[in-house]
Homo-oligomer: A and B are copies of this chain.
Amino acid sequence: MIIVLKPEVTEAQIKHIIDKVKGLGLTPHVSKGAERTIIGVIGPEDVLRVTPLEAFPGVENVIPVLAPFRLVSREFRKEDSVIDLGKGIKIGGKEIVVMAGPCTIENIDNLFEIAREVKKAGATVLRGGAFKPRTSPYSFQGLGKAGLQMLREVGNELGLVTISEVMDSRDVDLVAEYVDVLQIGCRNMQNFNLLKEVGAIKKPVLLKRGMASTVKDMLMSAEYILSGGNFSVILCERGIRTFEDSTRNTLDISAVPVTKQLSHLPIIVDPSHAAGKWGLVPSLAKAGIAAGADGLLIEVHNRPEEAVSDGAQSLIPERFSELMLQLKGIANSVGRKLNENI
């Protein structure tokens, strides 16, 4: 922590700050320059972080030196975390994991049909929403428990890992009973009580980046889950909100290498929600793998015209299948590989 003092700071103010720092069991280093005096405080910053030093008279600015997260950091764990999703699928290692399926689970026949297609193309994880965060109260809110049951049935029948979103701290146990991986959506990235709940379970959690969140904010939210005891966290870049209006969100592709530098956790890319239009999805998916992502989350629908949500951004199975072939080559070029089957 660096405390930058105002040019007009008094000796009494400096002493007051130093006393405070010492009182917290830390050692301040004062450096006086021609224009500014600064106080460096080397040591555990956590105790200082919750002290409102900027409210002290004479303080101009307080600059943290250490990252505020611990368990998720590369410093805590040097090697990449490899997370077991069940059914033989692991993420974070050499193999790239592709998760695909409809935005919303509509009925069992349709889910089976899409699931067979994405499996054939090489996906190993089936996505499908049962609890849907909809901006309008008048939109379809998902099938709930019935949808989860369908997802489990299809996943078991086809040997696919399943993933679905949980939106409410009251539903964590229910969702965990039916699916292999629990997804926290972007709007809940800072729903801290929900993070605490999924921190207390034993299943892997996919945490999506919030639309106005920095990479560091995302890591802090992951820290909530790890600090609760659940180290099986997968991060997901799905676009942030900017002034650009030709896409639904702006995919922050740099978040992939930045996260890899700062953390040991796997990170995947969701090109569908970033683009908002299916025609852009293949380019973003390929960019994601080229940039070093550990996987992809892609919306696929067999009849996008009839999808109850996000039809405009869903790939039809044929295009998804073509994309998977191109992804294979890119994965190889960056020393990774897709599923053996393709």
Contact = CB atoms under 8 A, between A and B. Distances in A.
Nearest to A141: B192
Nearest to A168: B193
Contacts of A254: 244, 246-247, 250-251, 274-275, 280, 283-284
Nearest to A242: B242
B280 A287 contact: no
A22 interface: no
A77 interface: no
A42 B50 contact: no
Nearest to A42: B33
A333 interface: yes
Contacts of A44: 34
Contacts of A29: 29, 31, 40
A21 interface: no
Nearest to A6: B75
A306 B20 CA distance: 11
A252 interface: yes
Contacts of A195: 137
A4 interface: yes
Contacts of A43: 33-34
A200 interface: no
Contact of A2 (B2, B214, B329): B2
Interface string A29-40: 101111110101
A252 B246 CA distance: 11
5 contacts: A136-B223, A169-B170, A170-B193, A254-B274, A254-B275
Given A32-B42, A242-B243, 20 more contacts: A2-B2, A20-B305, A29-B31, A38-B65, A54-B312, A56-B305, A68-B135, A137-B195, A137-B223, A167-B192, A247-B254, A247-B258, A251-B252, A251-B253, A256-B287, A257-B279, A286-B333, A289-B290, A330-B333, A332-B333
